[in-house]
């Protein structure tokens, strides 16, 4: 408009790992696909809204293992806090084994201890999820004629190792493909000479809010 000017538009491609998976659910085996961000470290729950999990990035950063996730899953089911005694009853392990698990999770800053109580070290976590992404669009391939690929923050092996730890031994990855999400980066010149950069999901049309602005 007359006050703000579009200076530049850049098309970026963010990398994702698309996994063909199967996993147990109740008395059945489910098959589906799982979309995981190689840049933000989170799983996409639904491609229509691009809703994602919250907390797996922290788990990737600290190389969370199976015992860490066992504790995290119990805490999520218990609304984020539990006594050590109740945790032992839930997990049914020896106290010395549990103490080692707790110390490991504390050192990784996944949980904190207050007296005899343990609590999640996340705000509004989304960790206890079904390992399947709801895909609402047909996937297409297209030669890269313009735009730029965004560098991966996390490797394929990091994602695969963590999904196995998070979803258990019966979780099976049958195949994998790297795909890319197109994102528009817009540079807007303000009247005072400052430049505002915003990114927009080209699939959903929604603005991608930076992590530091996502809090109310």
Cα-based distances in Å from 21 to 37, 74, 97, 118, 128: 16, 24, 31, 33, 17
Q: What are phi and psi of 81, to 5 degrees?
A: -150, 150
Q: Is 129 left (phi over 0), alpha (psi -120 to 50) or beta?
A: beta
Per-residue pLDDT of the chain (216 residues; tens, 9 = 90+): 668 888 888 999 999 999 999 999 888 999 999 999 999 999 999 999 999 999 999 999 999 999 999 999 999 999 999 999 999 999 999 999 999 999 999 999 999 999 999 999 998 899 999 999 999 888 887 777 778 999 999 999 999 999 999 999 999 999 999 999 999 999 888 888 888 889 999 999 999 887 666 554
**How high is the pLDDT of residue 174?**
96
**How high is the pLDDT of residue 216?**
46
CB of 201 within 8 A of CB of 12?
no
SS3 130: coil
CB of 128 within 8 A of CB of 167?
no
| Continuous segment of H or E residues that includes residue 114 | strand 111-114
SS3 94: coil
Q: Considering the entire predicted model, what is its pTM?
A: 0.88
């Amino acid at each position: 408009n007359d006050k703000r000017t579009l200076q530049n538009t850049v098309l970026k491609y963010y990398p994702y790992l698309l996994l063909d998976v199967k996993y147990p659910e109740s008395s059945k085996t489910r098959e589906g696909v799982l979309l995981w961000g190689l840049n933000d470290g989170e799983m996409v729950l639904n491609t229509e809204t691009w809703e994602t999990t919250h907390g797996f990035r922290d788990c990737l950063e600290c190389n969370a293992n199976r015992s860490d996730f066992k504790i995290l899953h119990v805490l999520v089911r218990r609304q984020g806090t539990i006594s050590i005694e109740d945790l032992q009853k839930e997990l049914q392990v020896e106290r010395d084994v549990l103490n080692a698990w707790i110390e490991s999770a504390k050192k990784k800053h996944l949980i904190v201890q207050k007296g005899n109580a343990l609590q999640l070290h996340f705000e509004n976590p989304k960790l206890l999820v079904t390992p399947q992404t709801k895909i609402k669009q047909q996937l297409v391939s297209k030669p890269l004629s313009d735009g730029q690929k965004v560098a991966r923050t996390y490797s394929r092996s990091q994602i695969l190792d963590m999904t196995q730890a998070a979803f258990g031994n019966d979780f099976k990855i049958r195949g994998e493909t790297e795909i890319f999400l197109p994102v528009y980066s817009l540079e807007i010149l303000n009247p005072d000479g400052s430049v505002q950069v915003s990114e927009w999901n080209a699939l959903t049309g929604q603005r991608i809010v930076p992590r530091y602005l996502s809090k109310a």
